């Protein structure tokens, strides 16, 4: 937007005059105001002016009202008067007047300006909604309320922060539903086959899950019922890039020496929900189409060994390369060693030999080594089956040679950022809907999709 320098100068002069008058008492008492006092006073003046100006703008936004207008029911509405209303905006509560119509047999009234601007009297404006939701995806709603107050110079309720955060999640949910619907349409899929020119060369997908505590809310449910833990399934799509030597951390340098290069995820897009695996598969496919994962020249899934994950990958992306996360496999061998050997030296020697074989892609040998310890512990018996079942997903020698990522740290980080950081805060209480919508809003923020989401939110009526 462009502003006239002359007009800005005039406004600035008026603001300075008001601020000086407000702080005149300090100067007269021989105590010149500190910069902090000047800043705070100026912000308060600008907030008051903004509220007054927004109210005046809204009140003058309409032309001469017509005497009649059509009603949504097919009837006719008659102009009544210019009716007062308020909206909670970034400047605080703002009052304005607009034309109001009523008199239809259906009993409904109408304020055309409110409908045009997406306002509902007494609700939150789209601009303020975005700020509240940003706080809500980052911190507990109560904390977000307290954190926002010094910035907004007025207070909103904890419940308002919750509602606006969940509304953003609801909008994101609608976006994903559209993606899922498109991904099931033959015409849409056929059209995509002609869009391979800008398809990713190599794309990765990862899926995992983290537990969320769901508390019963109804009085009847609370009696004698414990909290329920539900799986928040989390997925992500991403590409990879080499980390320059000068930018590598100590851990990355050590990894680079072992793997002859180190890569990191980039352009990450997250998605999540609490639902059955079969339904989550549809979400995985819909978001994958949006990310062009289905068009990638090479698609690689790096996940842990959970059966439900690989079943979904095989169903929706049968040609994708499948890799079991190296660190999960390594951890499995560590558990076997701990359970089978009391002697520290024998434990360490067995673990080193097993890890060396696994690193070299000799999975059958690793499975056999575990089987040989099956008589000592159940952990070894289970591990033998685990390695045998996932042998084709553990050819780490071939995967490294091809330059694939072999760690699922990206999706594990997603679980921490979306679930642990936000949903598992001390004292957090969630319904399934609240947890899902807050998580989806946070996933959109972390994915760099917030501006798009905010634009869609701004198009909604404020009561949505």
The rounded average pLDDT for each run of 10 residues, N- to C-terminus, in the chain (464 residues) is 86 94 79 90 96 96 93 94 95 96 94 88 90 96 96 96 97 96 90 79 97 77 69 97 70 58 88 97 97 95 94 97 96 95 94 96 96 92 96 95 92 96 89 97 97 89 41
Q: Show the tokens assigned to 306.
A: 């959970």
Location of structure tokens 């030999």: 353
Angle between helices 432-446 and 126-138 (to 10 degrees): 100
Location of structure tokens 């008001």: 18
Classified as helix, coil or strand, 69 is strand
Identify whether 208 is part of a domain: yes
Nearest to 164 by CA among 147, 151, 145: 145
Q: Is residue 156 part of a domain?
A: no
The values of phi and psi at residue 311, to 5°, are: -65, -40
pLDDT at position 224, please? 57
Measured CA distances, 330 to 343, 377, 380, 392 (Å): 20, 18, 13, 16
3-state secondary structure of 228: strand
Which of these three, 392, 414, 436, is where a domain ends? 414
Strands 228-242 and 202-214: antiparallel
pLDDT at 426 (0 to 100): 83
DSSP E strand stretches across 246-395? 263-273, 298-303, 321-324
Distance set, CA 202 to CA 198, 199, 298, 301, 323 (Å): 12, 9, 5, 11, 14
Is residue 441 one of the residues assigned to a domain?
no
DSSP 8-state code for residue 153: S
Q: In whole angstroms, what is the distance from residue 234 CA to residue 353 CA? A: 34
Structure tokens at 143: 């904390």
What the block records as the tokens of 172 is 């994101």
Task: For residues 73 and 104, give the distance between their C-alpha atoms in angstroms, rounded to a whole number.
Answer: 9
Q: Does a structural domain hold residue 215?
A: yes
Q: What is the pTM of this model?
A: 0.89
Residue 305 lies in a domain: yes
31: helix, strand or coil? coil
Owning domain of residue 30: 5-58
Q: Residue 99: how many CB atoms within 10 A of its CB?
A: 20
Distance CA 293, CA 320 (A): 10
Which pLDDT score is estimated for 462?
A: 44
Domains held by the chain: number: 2
Q: How far are the Cα atoms of 62, 326, 364, 383, 450 from residue 336, in angstroms, in the given order?
A: 75, 16, 16, 7, 45
Q: Is 273 exposed, middle or buried (0-12, 13-18, 19+ CB in 10 A)?
A: buried
- Please check whether residue 111 is in contact with residue 416, taking contact to mean a CB–CB distance below 8 angstroms: no
Tell me whether residue 335 is in a domain. yes
Return the pLDDT at 464: 31
Asked if 58 contacts 89 with a C-beta cutoff of 8 angstroms, the reply is no
Find, among 142, 152, 161, the residue nearest to 438 by Cα.
Answer: 161
- Is there a domain that residue 446 lies in? no
DSSP 8-state class, residue 261? S
Give me 237's structure tokens: 């799509």
* Strand arrangement of the beta sheet that strand 263-273 belongs to: 263-273, 228-242, 202-214, 298-303, 321-324
Q: Which of 239, 369, 254, 393 is nearest to 313 (CA)?
A: 393
**CA 160 to chain centroid:** 19
Q: Token pair of 233, please?
A: 């399934």
Q: Give the separation between CA 280 and CA 149, rounded to whole angstroms.
A: 38
Candidates 419, 384, 104, 78; CA nearest to 236 is 419
In a domain, 425, yes or no: no
Residue finishing a domain among 374, 390, 414? 414
- Provide the token pair at 13: 């002069």
Least Cα distance to 58 among 101, 121, 9 occurs for 121
The greatest distance separating any two alpha carbons of the chain, rounded to the nearest whole angstrom, comes to: 93
């Amino acid at each position: 937007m462009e502003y006239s320098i002359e007009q800005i100068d005039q406004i600035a002069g008026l603001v300075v005059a008001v601020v000086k008058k407000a702080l005149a008492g300090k100067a007269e008492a021989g105590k010149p105001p500190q910069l902090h006092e000047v800043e705070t006073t100026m912000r308060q003046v600008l907030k008051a002016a903004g509220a007054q100006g927004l109210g005046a703008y809204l009140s003058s936004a309409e032309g001469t009202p017509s005497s009649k207008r059509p009603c949504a029911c097919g009837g006719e509405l008659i102009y009544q008067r210019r009716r007062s209303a308020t909206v909670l905006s970034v400047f605080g509560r703002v009052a304005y007047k607009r034309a109001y119509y009523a008199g239809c047999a259906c009993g409904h009234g109408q304020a055309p300006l409110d409908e045009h601007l997406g306002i509902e009297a007494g609700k939150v404006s789209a601009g303020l909604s975005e700020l509240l939701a940003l706080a809500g995806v980052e911190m507990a709603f109560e904390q977000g309320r307290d954190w926002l107050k010094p910035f907004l110079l007025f207070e909103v309720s904890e419940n308002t922060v919750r509602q606006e955060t969940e509304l953003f999640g609801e909008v994101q949910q609608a976006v994903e539903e559209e993606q899922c619907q498109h991904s099931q349409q033959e015409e849409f899929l056929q059209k995509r086959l002609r869009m391979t020119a800008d398809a990713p060369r190599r794309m990765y997908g990862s899926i995992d899950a983290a537990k969320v505590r769901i508390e019963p809310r109804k009085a009847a449910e609370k009696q004698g019922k414990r909290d329920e833990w539900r799986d928040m399934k989390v997925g992500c799509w991403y590409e990879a890039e080499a980390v320059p030597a000068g930018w590598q951390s100590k851990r990355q340098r050590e990894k680079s020496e072992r793997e002859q290069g180190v890569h990191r995820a980039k352009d990450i897009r997250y998605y999540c929900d609490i639902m059955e695996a079969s339904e989550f598969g549809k979400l995985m496919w819909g978001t994958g189409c949006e990310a062009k994962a289905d068009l990638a020249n090479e698609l690689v899934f790096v996940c842990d060994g959970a059966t439900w994950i690989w079943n979904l990958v095989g169903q929706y992306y049968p040609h994708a390369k499948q890799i079991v996360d190296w660190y999960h496999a390594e951890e499995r061998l560590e558990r076997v060693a701990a359970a089978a050997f009391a002697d520290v030296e024998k434990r360490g020697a067995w673990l080193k030999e097993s890890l060396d074989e696994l690193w070299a892609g000799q999975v059958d040998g690793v499975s056999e080594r575990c089987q040989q310890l099956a008589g000592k512990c159940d952990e070894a018996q289970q591990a033998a089956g685990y390695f045998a079942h996932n042998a084709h997903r553990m050819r780490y020698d071939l995967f490294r040679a091809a330059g694939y990522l072999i760690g699922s740290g990206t999706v594990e980080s997603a679980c921490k950022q979306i679930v642990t950081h936000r949903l598992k805060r001390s004292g957090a209480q969630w319904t399934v809907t609240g947890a899902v919508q807050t998580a989806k809003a946070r996933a959109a923020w972390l994915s760099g999709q917030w501006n798009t989401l905010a634009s869609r939110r701004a198009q909604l009526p404020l009561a949505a």
